[in-house]
Structure 1
Amino acid sequence: MKAGARPRRGAPPKGEVSARERILATASDLFYREGIRAIGVDTVVERSGVSKTSLYRVFDSKDALISAFAAEKDRMFWAWWDDVEKKHAEDPRALLDALLSGIAKRIANPAFRGCPFLNLMTEFPDGNHPGRAH
């Protein structure tokens, strides 16, 4: 930012990723790779390149960020599932094969660290935790 320039407020210019998207993408990656409890908001702020104020403007707590992480993982999984179902709607055998092959491919990925939902439940066994709502 130039000296004396004021920070931009509002929606980012077209094609630019919003602070929310950067924060959530960074947190999702870190939470999945390193564990939710192992990552503090300071690490998310540093790695996403936003200020702590920006993080708390978008997510009022780490729990809210965890909840958004779980919601995004849920959305992504079911979008994948729905896409596979659409491609194989007329052939149940091909559908089952595609779903199982897709899951096997995910598991075989060296970066696979388990199901993000099971990981979250392991780290937060209290069923009332906001992240467990998804």
Structure 2
Amino acid sequence: MPRQPTDTRERILSAASRLFYADGIRAVGVDAVAEKAGITKRTLYYHFRSKDDLIAACLEARDQPNLALFARWFDEAEGPLAARVENMFRRLARAARHPKWRGCGFLRTAAELASMPGHPAVRIGSAHKKRLEAWLEGKVAAEGIGNASLLARQIVLLLDGAFSVMLVHRDAAYVEAAGSAAATLVGAALARS
């Protein structure tokens, strides 16, 4: 039975995502993606007009799964808001200890495309980060904390800062320290409310 176009597209996205995450978007050419997906370069271009479109599609495909992962980490912790926020960082630290962990694909892509702020992948990464912040704002607001948007932004700054420092030091203790700082911020905000 012949493969359906969506199957081929998904194989391309899967291959590209693995290669881009492991080696970076600039280091990986479309030839390598086509080979990893088991297709021709012509087939790749049938599904994606350009490498830039492929990069954007890869990030778009990661958006909801990444948001769901943070929501799961948040929800699996019991206790007050501070403990649930800190658990996201603890779980991230555990993931960061895996030898194949390479950080946040959205941040890494934005860094590689820093000279191209209008690139579709940069816009997708920005939208993803805004959705994470909005989700956190909802969780904070549900606890009756005033200025939930500021606290959510502070947590995201700690989270993204932890991602960045991890790439430099390869030490998950930085993520745990950021989680502790986030829990302190949440505790202080709750005390003021």
- Both structures adopt the same fold (TM-score exceeding 0.5): yes
Mapped to 2, the partners of 1:122 and 1:93 lie a distance apart of: 30
What does the per-residue CA deviation read over 1:96-133, in whole Å, with 9 as the maximum and x for residues that have no partner? 23211111112211112222122111211121011111
Give the alignment of 1:1-134 within 5 angstroms: 8=2, 10=4, 18-88=7-77, 91-125=80-114, 126-134=116-124
Mapped to 1, the partners of 2:25 and 2:103 lie a distance apart of: 13
As a proportion of its length, which structure holds more helix? 2
Counterpart code for 1:130: P
Kindly indicate whether the alpha-carbon contact (under 8 Å) linking 2:34 and 2:44 is maintained by their aligned counterparts in 1. Answer: yes
* Root-mean-square deviation over aligned CA pairs: 2.2
Identity of matched residues, %: 36
Q: Show structure 1 runs of 5+ residues with no match.
A: 1-6, 13-17
Mapped to 2, the partners of 1:79 and 1:62 lie a distance apart of: 27
Question: TM-score if structure 2 supplies the norm length?
Answer: 0.57
Counterpart code for 2:60: A
Mapped to 1, the partners of 2:81 and 2:96 lie a distance apart of: 23
Mapped to 1, the partners of 2:89 and 2:103 lie a distance apart of: 16
Counterpart code for 1:128: G
Instruction: Figure out how many residues of one structure are paired with residues of the other and give that number.
Output: 123
Mapped to 1, the partners of 2:56 and 2:35 lie a distance apart of: 20
Question: TM-score if structure 1 supplies the norm length?
Answer: 0.79
What does the per-residue CA deviation read over 1:41-84, in whole Å, with 9 as the maximum and x for residues that have no partner? 01100111012222112111100100011112222210112223
What does the per-residue CA deviation read over 1:13-57, in whole Å, with 9 as the maximum and x for residues that have no partner? xxxxx1111111111111111110111101100111012222112
Kindly indicate whether the alpha-carbon contact (under 8 Å) linking 2:74 and 2:85 is maintained by their aligned counterparts in 1. Answer: no
- Secondary structure of 2:59's aligned partner: helix
| Residue in 1 that maps onto 2:175 | none
Mapped to 2, the partners of 1:112 and 1:86 lie a distance apart of: 23
Mapped to 2, the partners of 1:54 and 1:90 lie a distance apart of: 51
Q: Tell me how far 1:94 sits from its aligned partner.
A: 3.9
Q: Show structure 2 runs of 5+ residues with no match.
A: 125-193
Q: 1:11 to 1:130 in 2, by over 3 A?
A: closer
- Higher RCO, 1 or 2 (CA under 8 Å, sep at least 6)? 1
Counterpart code for 1:72: A
